[in-house]
Structures are given as structure tokens and as C-alpha cells.
Amino acid sequence: MEKKLDKRIATGVPGLDEIIYGGFIPERAYLVRGGPGTGKTTLGLHYLAAGAVDKEQGLFICMGEQEEGIRENAGTMGIDLGNVVFLDLSPDPESFSRMENYSIFSPAEVERTPITQKIMEQIEKLKPNRIFIDSMTQFRYLSADSFQFRRQAASFLRFLTEQGTTVLFTSESCPDMPDDDLMFLSDGIIELEANDEDHRLTVRKFRGSGFHTGRQFVRLNSSGMEVFPRLLPKGVRGKVSTEAIPTGVPELNELLHGGLERGTITIISGPSGVGKTTLGLLFLREAAKRGEHPVLYAFEEGMPTLINRCEAINIHIRDMMEQGSLSVVKVEPLIHSPEEFTRMVRKEVEEQGARVVMLDSTAGYGLSIRGGDLIRHLHALCKYLAELGVTTILINEVEFITGEFRATEIGVSYIADNIIFMRYLELNAQLKKAIGVLKKRLSDFEKNLREIKITPNGVEIGPPLTGLRGILKGMPETIESLNDEE
């Protein structure tokens, strides 16, 4: 028994094996339930195709749709069913005329025996490793009552698994005909659901193994089904280095007492147009010089605009991108779910070795949440990156240009190890910009605010703004003038 539990059978669906810790346990029966259009049959097709790749014999028992249509649909998704045998038990055109001849016996009594015989003969002939039944609900119509159906279903599934077969079967649940009995009989339950915006998958039961709980995002497209597991940080932070990442601007390094420590989470906050992205790019540029493969995920700004703007201020990201030292990924939040975005980040970090990741911005990322919990998703992503020792930079936009000071407006400041804020201020009838550090967990920092300018030569940081107060309100006053008034 222990050996069987250790061995797993691939589901064939990208991402699903991760959720159930490696795949299905052999010689067990698993229920896939859900409404029409949720992907039940597609999941089964992936399952059989995966077995064919491993030279395993697969059997598709189809009770509703005919074999020809199923193979045609699989072909359009690029799913190869060449080595899969079909037992087509779907109704043929002559079924209607036969129904008129039933008089003494019910259709269920007449049909049940030949169908059962066909299944047993095919299984004894093929000795399949994998069976997909679509759907078990059809067998319910061949039973006189629910008690008889449950006994027959239990006996049928046991017969299949005792032949050394791993079974995947679907059900069509509705209020008038619930499938609670099948849920009790199965060794595992995969529930699929769909709404106007997306598809979701939830594992409700999985005997003999743990699994990821919660609703997982599903993408159904021309290639079939793909599952994007929710990110679940382990809660153990990786080693944080006290070595600071410099910015390339000496005055900014002074403000940060050397720079940002590796493996930390930094929020750069400020109103629109104040220079948050530009400031973040300074860190990415220096990381690229050191070969740390930084990645910028741009949710808002288009690639041509970003490149041209950076070139105009002496940050040559085009060269870095061409050299492969910097990756810039344009993300459309209304197309990609947060789970899909997480998959992108994981590939860059785990496969490409990215050590610095920047999200521009939290507002753009929030659009992909589609009404979900932004803080929860950001927390999971940032903590995951911190566990791997990746330096994370979040660009956060505040709504108000002047007035009451807020580090962020979405309640994520607790995530950050470092908070750098930027503000507009009106001084001598001119609009200027100031930069300061609000928080730094691993080292001290300069408490003064400084003026920041973005010029064709790059970013310039001025000396500390002394002799002023009210800077955070955006309308500073000189301390001398206040003393004169008093």
C-alpha cells in the first residue's frame, strides 16, 4: 500500500499535478463534477493522452457524445488520442424506434445488461491502465431507483480498480438529480465551475494524500485546459543579506545608507508623474550590471513609451534588453489573472534566475484581481519572493498630489521592509519634487527630505531640504518666515 501511495499518475493537465502533490494515486476512482462548459471532458482527454505518451493503454467510455465528435474536438486542441480506444455507448439513431417497442419491460432493464457486457468484454480484452467515463450520470437512468444505482456504481468502480485501472469519471449534477452518492463512492473529487469572467477548479477530496485547498484559476483555450495554482508561501523567509544594492546615484545612496538590502521588499510610493518608475529603474540598472537578471513587469506603460522615456533620461534599457541583462514584460491585467501572472514570475525566478523583480504598478496589478483581495495576492507573491531571497520593488501610486500624507492607500505598507516616498511640493511658485525614506527595517536611513530632479542626464538628488516644514503636505514654509511672523 505504501508503494502505491508513493507512485503517482500524471493528470496531463498543466498545473493540476502540483495541486494534488504529483498526480492521481494508481488504481483508484476519481470524480470530476461540474456544469456544462466547465471542462470536464477536456480534463479527461488530457488524462488519456498523458497515458498514451507513457505507453499506457487508455479507454474512453462515452455515454453521451459520439466518438467521432470527441476525436474531432481533441484534434482541434492538439490532444493526440491515436492510442486511445473508444467504447462508444452513446445512443444511435435506432434507439428511438427501439424505445417504442418496450412494453412489458422498462428501457433500463432491457439496455442495462448488454451495456454492462460490452464494458466487461472491452476491459478484459484491453486491460487498460486508464479509463475515462463520460458520464456516470447515464448509468443512473439504467437503474430502477437511487439505492440500486449506488450499489451498481460501487460494484462497477470496484471491478474497474481491481483490474489495475485508474478511473476518472464525470457526473452531471443538478437540483433534481444530485450526485452526492458518487461523491461518497469516489476516492477523490475535482469540482469545476465557470462564470462570466473565468473558470475555477477545486479539489474537494483526495484520499491518501494532501492537496492544495481553495479555488484555483483554470484557463480553457485552443490548447485545452491549464490550471494555475494559487501561490502558497511556506512562511519561512530565506536568508536576507545585509549587503545593500546601490542605486548608481551617490546622494540617493546616502539617503538610504548604502541602498536596498538584498531579499527585501520595497515600496516606492507617490502621485502620478513624480518619478516612481524612473527611481525603480535605477535599482534595476545597477542589478543588471551585476548580472542579477532583473525583471520589470509593466502593467500600465506600453513598451515603446517606456523605452523612449528611459532613453531620454540616460537610462538605456533598450541596450540592456538586447544584451539579455534586463527583462521587461508587458502584462495586460484585463487578460491575465493573478494566478497566471504568478506563473510568469515563478518561471523568471526559478528557471531564469531573476534576483530582482519590480511590479509597475500595484494599481495595474489590482485590475487583474477583478474584485478579489488585492492585499492577499500581493502578500502571497511578495512573501514567496522573499523566501527565495529575491529583491522585490513595488511601484505604488497615491491619488492625491498634495494634502494629507499617506504612504499607500491600499493598506500594504506592512508588507514592506523599505518604504521610499516621493512628493510634489510648491516652493516659490514653482512645482518641485521631494524624496524621503519612511521605513527601513535592516538599517538606519537619513531622516531628511531631499529634492529630486529628473533631467536628460539622469536622476539628480539635491542636498537635504533644511529650513522648511510642511513638506509632506506639499506646501512647505520656511522656518525663518514663520519665526518672523511670530
What local confidence, expressed as pLDDT, does residue 236 receive? 63
* Cα–Cα distance for residue pair 24/10, rounded to 1 Å: 7
Q: Is the pLDDT of residue 438 over 80?
A: yes
- Return mean pLDDT, the chain: 85
Alpha helices in 207-361 (DSSP H): 250-255, 276-289, 303-312, 317-323, 338-350
Portion of the chain with pLDDT greater than 90, in percent = 55
Q: Is the pLDDT of residue 229 over 90?
A: yes
Residue 255 burial by Cβ neighbours in a 10 Å radius (0-12, 13-18, 19+): buried
Q: Give the residue from 331, 248, 261, 257 showing the smallest Cα distance to 288.
A: 248
What local confidence, expressed as pLDDT, does residue 104 receive? 39
**What pLDDT digit, counting tens, does each position of 89-102 carry?**
876 655 545 444 44
The least confident of 66-75, 108-117, 216-225, 293-302 is: 108-117
CATH number, span 244-485: 3.40.50.300
Portion of the chain with pLDDT greater than 70, in percent = 85
Q: Is the pLDDT of residue 394 over 50?
A: yes
Q: Give the residue from 49, 12, 11, 14 showing the smallest Cα distance to 30.
A: 11
**What pLDDT digit, counting tens, does each position of 161-190 carry?**
999 999 999 998 766 677 888 999 999 999
pTM of the complete model? 0.82
Q: Is the pLDDT of residue 439 over 60?
A: yes
Q: Are 2-228 and 244-485 in the same CATH fold?
A: yes
**What pLDDT digit, counting tens, does each position of 351-388 carry?**
999 999 999 988 888 888 776 678 888 999 999 999 99
What local confidence, expressed as pLDDT, does residue 310 receive? 92
What local confidence, expressed as pLDDT, does residue 333 receive? 82
Task: Let me know: does 396 contact 268? Beta carbons within 8 Å.
Answer: yes
Mean pLDDT calculated for residue range 23-31: 97
Q: Is the pLDDT of residue 246 over 70?
A: yes
C-alpha distances in angstroms, 446 versus 278, 396, 415, 435, 440?
21, 21, 21, 11, 10
What local confidence, expressed as pLDDT, does residue 153 receive? 87
The least confident of 68-82, 137-151, 229-243, 446-460 is: 229-243
So what CATH class is 2-228? Answer: alpha beta
Model confidence band, residue 424 (pLDDT cutoffs 50, 70, 90):
confident
Annotated domain spans of the chain:
2-228, 244-485
What local confidence, expressed as pLDDT, does residue 135 receive? 83
Model confidence band, residue 402 (pLDDT cutoffs 50, 70, 90):
low
Element of type H or E holding 76: helix 67-76
What local confidence, expressed as pLDDT, does residue 85 receive? 95
What local confidence, expressed as pLDDT, does residue 103 receive? 44
Task: Let me know: does 251 contact 451? Beta carbons within 8 Å.
Answer: no
What local confidence, expressed as pLDDT, does residue 406 receive? 63
* Cα–Cα distance for residue pair 37/24, rounded to 1 Å: 23
Task: Let me know: does 453 contact 433? Beta carbons within 8 Å.
Answer: yes
Q: Is the dihedral of CA 173, 178, 180, 186 positive or negative?
A: negative
Mean pLDDT calculated for residue range 295-324: 92
Mean pLDDT calculated for residue range 437-464: 91
- Locate cell 503517482: which residue? 8
Query: Which amino acid, 103?
Result: S
The least confident of 142-151, 196-205, 213-222 is: 142-151
Residue 33 burial by Cβ neighbours in a 10 Å radius (0-12, 13-18, 19+): buried
Q: Is the pLDDT of residue 193 over 80?
A: yes
What local confidence, expressed as pLDDT, does residue 179 receive? 86
* Cα–Cα distance for residue pair 224/201, rounded to 1 Å: 14
* Cα–Cα distance for residue pair 430/475, rounded to 1 Å: 11
Q: Is the pLDDT of residue 418 over 70?
A: yes
- Characterize 124-141 residue by residue with b for buried, 16 or more Cβ atoms within 10 angstroms of its Cβ, and e for exposed: eebebbbbbbbbbbbbbe
Grid coordinates representing 68 are 467521432
Query: Which amino acid, 84?
Result: V
**What pLDDT digit, counting tens, does each position of 452-481 carry?**
999 999 999 998 887 767 666 656 666 654
